[in-house]
Amino acid sequence: MSKYDVIVLGSGPGGYVAAIRASQLGLKTAIIEKESLGGVCLNWGCIPTKALLKSAQVFEYLKHAEDYGLKVKEPGYDFGAVVKRSRGIADGMSKGVQFLMKKNKIDVINGFGKLKTGKKIDVDGKEYSADHIIIATGTRSRELPALPQDGKKVIGYRAAMTLEKQPKKMIVVGSGAIGVEFAYFYNSMGTDVTIVEYLPNIVPVEDEDVSKQLERSFKKSGIKIMTSAEVTKVDTSGDGVKATVKTKKGEEVLEADVVLSAVGIKSNIENIGLEDVGIATDRDKILVNDYYQTNIPGYYAIGDITPGQALAHVASAEGILCVEKIAGQHVEALDYGNIPGCTYCSPEIASVGLTEKQAKEKGLDIKVGKFPFSASGKASASGAKDGFVKVIFDAKYGEWLGCHMIGAGVTDMIAEAVLGRKLETTGHEVLKTVHPHPTMSEAVMEAVADAYGEVIHL
């Protein structure tokens, strides 16, 4: 039996990062993966979807070339080549993780791992043991009873990335990050897209102003949106698919080539031995303390399978923190109230902290500022005037409670708010921090100025 200091089960952005940090700290480390290194994020999620979205964005630039004084013959595209580019980038990233494993002298064990008592893992009949076992098995697309996925007419995000033929009509059920990103991609490529959202607003976790702006932008692009609506059944017996949608006005039947189910995720915690070891779970999540220890000593869990936000950067941060605690370093628990969320449709969405509604529900006395990109010189020059930056501050102490952005490139801008909140900066300090001109980031300073009644360019 092979013996290690740390074994990581799963090689997504939580698992492989935890393994590398463990090796850096001098711990003999192995990682177990049943598919490709990098997990869903590198192979079927974060990275290949961004490649698809970039192709859509470039295609949109070409279609609007005349807006920039340029002449381009009628632009076309090869859908298969777009998909192939995305898969090639994913493969390259996975090979990059392979290189990192080799560089950091981490043993890669291919196969399906099952936890056993006594700090052991069985991988396809062979046993391995470690002083510390970190579970990082991630999630998959969740299926609803009314939306059983067949991989052809009712699909999840994996199939949506590798369709051989572009559908003429698509129904996207669910308007979280996955739903709106694919809605944007397929609409940009010419597919007739309808979004069906159960809640009153699309991207329902975002500030309501952001949700309304995205809905306006999407409708302007030709995407149909149905909110407060529910798909109650699908009929796949014909050439396409018929979806029965229940709304406040009654039932409506939508026809399409494909239905994309983007209704959330399901933890990969079945059949990995949790029950045999006695590891506690609740509502599809493994229960852990602030340092990701489960109720059974020597077993840890990180990433989407734990109750925190299901985001790649959260999983990575948890993996590093978990391993550093194992190594005896002094670590601070992760602040889940200061985690940025990003959605990469167009316009992009980025946010951190409290929404305006949440701040008011807490009874806080707040200052709210908002600066539209239509008033930004850089946004106008770039032809990207949709969206705004919205900031929320505590009126008494100036604490930065929340920041919500929608517009071009905002996923690269949100880190200013995350860092500012981490350093406990005040609205006055942000306002007096000189921002470069002309940039999209000026909108942050201007939004803060608006909150304090000092806005210049609005």
> CA dist 332 to 17, 320, 338, 424, Å?
18, 11, 14, 16
Pick out the residues of the known binding site.
50, 113, 174-181, 197, 264, 304
Q: Which is nearest to 180 in space by CA: 191, 188, 172, 192?
A: 172
Pick out the residues of the known binding site for NAD(+).
174-181, 197, 264
Give me the half-sphere count of Cα atoms (radius 13 Å) on the Cβ side of residue 158: 12
Burial level of 347, CB count in 10 A (0-12/13-18/19+)?
Answer: buried
Please give the order of strands across the beta sheet that includes 250-256: 230-235, 241-247, 250-256
Q: Which is nearest to 362 in space by CA: 325, 417, 309, 402?
A: 402
Q: What distance, in Å, lies between the first and last C-alpha atoms of the chain?
A: 69
Buried (b) or exposed (e) across 241-269, using 16+ Cβ within 10 A? bbbebbeeeeeeebebbbbbbbbebebbb
Give residues with Cβ within 8 angstroms of 318, minimum separation 6. Answer: 14, 292, 302, 303, 306, 308, 334
Tokens at residue 260, please? Answer: 């994309």
Q: Which of 64, 428, 437, 457 is catalytic?
A: 437
Long-range Cβ contact pairs of 421-424 (< 8 A, separation 24 or more): 421/338, 421/352, 421/353, 422/335, 422/338, 424/399
Phi then psi for residue 366, to 5 deg, are -125, 160
Alpha helices in 363-407 (DSSP H): 377-382
Pick out the residues of the known binding site for FAD.
50, 113, 304
The span from the CA of 423 to the CA of 29, in Å, is: 34
* 437 is annotated as an active-site residue: yes
Residues labelled catalytic? 437
